[in-house]
Amino acid sequence: MRKTGITTVLRAAAFAVVASLPAASWAADLKIGFSAPATTLDPQFHNASQNIAVSRNMFDTLVQMDPDSQIVPALAESWRLVDDTTWEFKLRPAKFSDGSAVTAEDVVWSLDRPATIPNSPSSFTIYTRPVVEKKIIDEQTVQLKTAAPYPLLLADLTNVFIVSKKATEGLTSDKFVTGQGVVGSGPYKFKSYTPDDRVIMTANENYWGDKPAWDTVEIRFLPNDSSRLSALLSGEVDAIENIPTPDLEAVKNNKNLVVGEKMSHRLIFLFLDSGRDETPGVSAADGSPLKANPFKDVRVRKAVNLAIDREAIASRLMQGLAFPTNNIVTETMQGFVPGIKPSYDPEQAKKLLAEAGYDKGFRLVLASPNNRLINDAKVAQALAQMLTRVGIRTSVDAVPFAVINTRGNKGEFSSVMMGWGAQTAEASSPIRAMIACTNKEKGWGPVNWGNYCNPNLDAVTAKALNTMDDAARSKLLQDATQIVHDDVAIVPLYFQANTWAAKPGITITPRMDERTSALMFTPAK
């Protein structure tokens, strides 16, 4: 019997229930089904999109990205360049949810704090390190100085939440679970949190912006695709993110649901451990130990790249919700190289493996999350089959995202499928985070699980980051992307598309950055 994401009977029954619900009966409250659970409520502890999405409801940044990834004011109502390395920000009159004023002191504290947080799985220091000096001019004015001209400062600051110094000083990240420290200036405020289950928030009466659209917002963590869709259809939640791909057409064609779609910044890719002499997840073709790390040889990395049929993954597994690529950013971003195309050549992959001394192939364990990315475990299985066909006998180790983070930071993987959203909308974002040589002082490479290190790439990227001229910076970022491609520093696969569905009576404003929040959903007028 052919399996489906949800049975026909359940779908029909649930659609009938939704159709019968009057919009007014739930207009005061909003329940959203998320596809991945938050791992923390500390908005500066773990730089992961689902954490940022939850925090966005309760915290603000100085500036923010609009749905099309254009920078617009947030807590800073205006800013200016004092000189090539000094930026001045004027804060709007705003209050935290406890009624205290947001001041320049809170801004300075929020920029200093990420570097002091221990054991961060993915640190926000990649966004705060460029600021080498902070100066409080008055309670509503702060100046930030960079060591050199740095055109991406505004983009970086869209990722740094402003927290209350009074509420967070001396507080460790684990305390946020109870609501301690969850004091922000966003449209909603903390009510309760049940790890791996839900976050409940209420409207923040002190919010500086328009009155929040909802009295209460509940985010439910529903990583199982069928359960998430069933929750929407049964009325358990009012909206969901990441419509399950097998059900996408049925959802689109149902007149009792509203659908939103938008291409995202999120690159799905493979890390290959190219840095260590020995790596834990490989063995010889016969299963015996393999001391040499095959991924140190660029020919092996190129073979992996050529063995993958990205078009098949996009059309068959992702149902069109993926855009195949060999670039690290989309064509709308600085650093995109038009000449870099996806290529599929399994015969050439076999030749490269033979040239590298692996004519009999080898065995590989490919790790993957099973509750984070759209169809993540299924895609990993497809990749394993493709790699096995060229001689790399691949098995899949699919585990929850929280486990992936813990093990990845311990260096337990030879290969792992992951995703990264370029939130600064240019190529230095993935490079600085996961491809550059790991450098804690610079804040580079905090999630470089492939252990790749190329000083030339770092130098080109650093030069781009200090170049104020847009055209010159774009060319340097293209040079950096070309290095990543030629050296197969990572193996790009595709960009995800974002999808949302909601009950009738709700308007969805889709976002490129996939940061689902209550702000995306408003009662239809």
pLDDT digit string (tens) for 267-316?
999 999 999 999 999 999 999 999 899 999 999 999 999 999 999 999 99
3-state helix, strand, coil in the chain (%, to 5): 30, 25, 40
Opening angle at CA 512, ends 40 and 307, nearest 5: 90
For 346-381, how does the pLDDT look when each residue is reduced to its tens digit (9 = 90+)?
Answer: 999 999 999 999 999 999 999 999 988 889 999 999
pLDDT value, residue 136: 99
Report d(CA 225, CA 231) in Å as an integer.
Answer: 10
In three-state secondary structure terms, 110 is helix
Beta strands in 68-138 (DSSP E): 71-73, 76-83, 86-91, 131-138
What's the CA gap between 391 and 303, in Å, rounded?
10
Tokens of 178: 């109870």
Side-chain-side CA neighbours of residue 135 (13 Å): 11
Per-residue pLDDT of the chain (525 residues; tens, 9 = 90+): 333 333 332 333 333 333 333 333 344 899 999 999 999 999 999 998 899 999 999 999 999 999 988 899 999 999 999 999 999 999 999 999 999 999 999 999 999 999 999 999 988 998 999 999 999 999 999 999 999 999 999 999 999 999 999 999 999 999 999 999 999 999 999 999 999 999 999 999 999 999 999 999 999 999 999 999 999 999 999 999 999 988 999 999 999 999 999 989 999 999 999 999 999 999 999 999 998 999 999 999 999 999 999 999 999 999 888 999 999 999 989 999 999 999 999 999 999 999 999 999 999 999 999 988 889 999 999 999 999 999 999 999 999 999 999 999 999 999 999 999 888 889 999 999 999 999 988 889 999 999 999 999 999 999 999 999 999 999 999 999 999 999 999 999 999 999 999 999 999 999 988 889 999 999 987
Q: Where are the domains of the chain?
A: 265-497
484 and 301 Cβ atoms separated by less than 8 Å: no
Q: What is the pLDDT, as a whole number, of residue 360?
A: 96
Q: Which amino acid is present at 16? A: A
Of 3.40.640.10, 3.40.50.970, 2.60.120.10, 3.10.105.10, the CATH number of 265-497 is 3.10.105.10
- Of 247, 326, 275, nearest to 12 by C-alpha is 247
Q: How far is Cα 208 from Cα 43, in angstroms, rounded to an integer?
A: 20
pLDDT of residue 41: 97
Instruction: Name the DSSP class of 203.
Output: E
- CA gap 331, 251 in Å, rounded: 29
What's the pTM value of the predicted model, to 2 decimals? 0.77
Count of helices and strands (H, E) across the chain: 16, 22
Give all strands (DSSP E) within 303-414, no chain letters: 322-324, 362-369, 392-399
**Parallel, antiparallel, or unpaired: how do β-strands 415-421 and 362-369 relate?**
parallel
Give me the pLDDT at residue 441, please.
87
**What percentage of the chain carries pLDDT values higher than 90?**
86
Token pair listed for 14: 């649930």
Nearest to 392 by CA among 370, 414, 369, 423: 414
- Give, as one character, the DSSP assignment of residue 288: -
